[in-house]
Amino acid sequence: MKNIFIGLLFAMLWASASVATKFGILSAPPLILGNMRFFIAGFVLLSYGYMFNKDKSYRWPKAEEWKHLAIFGFLNTTVYLGMYVYAMKYTAAGIGSLATSTNPLLIVLLSSWMISRKPSKEEVFSIIIGMIGIAIATYPLLQNASTTLSGLTILMLSMVSVSFASVYYARVKWKLPNILINGWQVTIGGLLLIPFTLSMSDFSTITLDNRLIFSVLWLSLAVSVIGLICWFYLLKIDTVKASLWLFLCPLFGFFYAWWLLDEPITLYTVAGTLLVVFGLYLGQKNNFKKKVQ
């Protein structure tokens, strides 16, 4: 039950990123919004880790750990989140949520290649059913969304990067607490993003209003802090099963887009939702049986 709650919380928070980003980029260039998000999240996580924990495991990273953190931060923050927030300027919020549904397939493929983790038949079927459900739910949005080809390309490349980051994270035998891993990777990733932000952003277009403040705080605290802590917890249990929760992200994303951006919910959305839930159950069925026994 704990894992189910964490999985649902992750999906709900992660799905909100596209809508929050769409609001934020109305007041600041995408990469500036991203850097603000990353540094606030890093500051909060590292401050909590080093100031409020007396456990000896809350220490500074060692030489090999800095390398892992830099690689993970580059893939997960600089490339993935940097490209994602930039792509949202040219992509509809619903399409941003849709892109998340490609991660399970990419993670399964990369896991079989990088860590020799063969998925079960149930997991394969759950992925196929989930992908069909996502396709049905997003069909009307794909027909009407104002999305450019370049924006969609950048978005999909960002999904490849986060899938690599997820598999890389699962391969490393981390000795640091999750809070420090997340804090350092998002901080390092933000630092590596600075050259791109400086060269690609017009700082004169920043409008410091309530919309920007709320967007940055939500993206940094709710998504980058709480959401990623949930994601790392799920990854440590099982990389592929963690990816199944990503199927729910577009569905929550549709709800947020309907609620906040007036995007319609259609029969396609309902039918797709039922298929996604069934696919998620199929992938988690063995875990449910263990709980009952």
**Domain coordinates of the chain in residue numbers?**
2-118+147-237
Q: What backbone phi and psi angles, to 5 degrees, belong to 246?
A: -65, -20
Contact status, residue 101 vs residue 162, Cβ threshold 8 Å: no
Report d(CA 203, CA 206) in Å as an integer: 6
Report d(CA 231, CA 217) in Å as an integer: 19
Residue-level pLDDT at 292 = 42
Residue-level pLDDT at 100 = 76
Report d(CA 129, CA 265) in Å as an integer: 20
Q: State the Cα angle at 106 between 175 and 281, rounded to 5°.
A: 85
Give me the helices (H) in the chain, please: 2-24, 30-51, 63-73, 82-87, 93-100, 103-114, 121-144, 149-171, 178-200, 210-217, 228-237, 239-244, 248-261, 267-292
Contact status, residue 134 vs residue 276, Cβ threshold 8 Å: yes
Structure tokens at 185: 């990777």
Residue 191 has pLDDT above 50, yes or no: yes
Residue-level pLDDT at 52 = 82
Residue 290 has pLDDT above 60, yes or no: no
Report d(CA 163, CA 225) in Å as an integer: 19
- Kindly indicate the confidence band of residue 105, based on its pLDDT and cuts at 50, 70 and 90: low
- Kindly indicate the confidence band of residue 222, based on its pLDDT and cuts at 50, 70 and 90: very high
Residue-level pLDDT at 293 = 46
What average pLDDT does the structure give for the chain? 85
- pLDDT tens profile 15-66: 999 999 999 999 999 999 999 999 999 999 999 999 888 788 899 999 999 9
What's the burial of 32, exposed, middle or buried (CB within 10 Å: 0-12/13-18/19+)?
buried
Cα separations in angstroms, 254 against 18, 56, 135, 179, 192:
10, 43, 13, 30, 32
Report d(CA 253, CA 11) in Å as an integer: 9
Residue with more model confidence, 91 or 67? 67
> pTM for this structure?
0.81
Residue with more model confidence, 29 or 148? 29
Question: Which of 193, 217, 194, 189 is CA-nearest to residue 27?
Answer: 217
Structure tokens at 46: 């590292």
Report d(CA 13, CA 167) in Å as an integer: 21
Torsion sign, CA atoms 96, 33, 42, 181: positive
> Mean of the pLDDT values across residues 206-216?
96
